[in-house]
Amino acid sequence: MRHYQCDSPEAAARIVAACLLSDGHVSMDEIEALNRHGIERRLSLHPREFMAVVQTLCEDLTCATYLNWGDACRLDPVVVAQLAADVQDWEIRRDIICLCKEAIHADRHISEGEAGFLRLLGAAWELPEHMDRVRPREVIRLARVLRVK
């Protein structure tokens, strides 16, 4: 897996990309939701850079044994923890969580893979266990409270 600098836009984007892949496919509804919510601006990415990060992640994952292909793509929990460790800044984490939630809710269905990804991400960042049921606006409030860590 390629390495990105800690708290870099690419490291943040890779977590959102992994969230998108957690149900086995990326839908246009998810991409459109992320664009509506300003993913590239919020993560300080250049235009079209997010899709390049998605492609790079797919390449990295298909070249290694980080995936368990069943009904859907499931990232190894160790890999999710490694991706999460690349983002230490609470404001970036807040944006990542909000963007992931917006993408997941875009198709009005939360798959087991998506919920599992959010649980793994929340565990890596030591967020409350009910994180997968929290709405994006509540995540912002939660991140502000947890920023005191």
Q: Is residue 36 part of a domain?
A: yes
Q: Is residue 65 part of a domain?
A: yes
The whole-number average pLDDT for the span 42-61 is 93
Total structural domains within the chain = 1
* Band of pLDDT at residue 113, cut at 50, 70 and 90: confident
Q: Is residue 1 part of a domain?
A: no
Residue type, 36: R
Using alpha carbons only, what angle is made at residue 110 by residues 107 and 112, rounded to the nearest 5 degrees? 140
pLDDT in tens, 59-72: 888 776 555 555 44
Alpha-carbon distance 63 to 133, whole Å? 33
What is the domain range of residue 137? 9-146
User: Which residues touch 109 (CB under 8 Å, ≥6 apart)?
Assistant: none
The pLDDT, as a whole number, for residue 143 is 54
> Which three-class secondary structure state does DSSP give residue 37?
coil
Half-sphere exposure of 90 (CA within 13 A, CB side): 13
Alpha-carbon distance 4 to 14, whole Å? 9
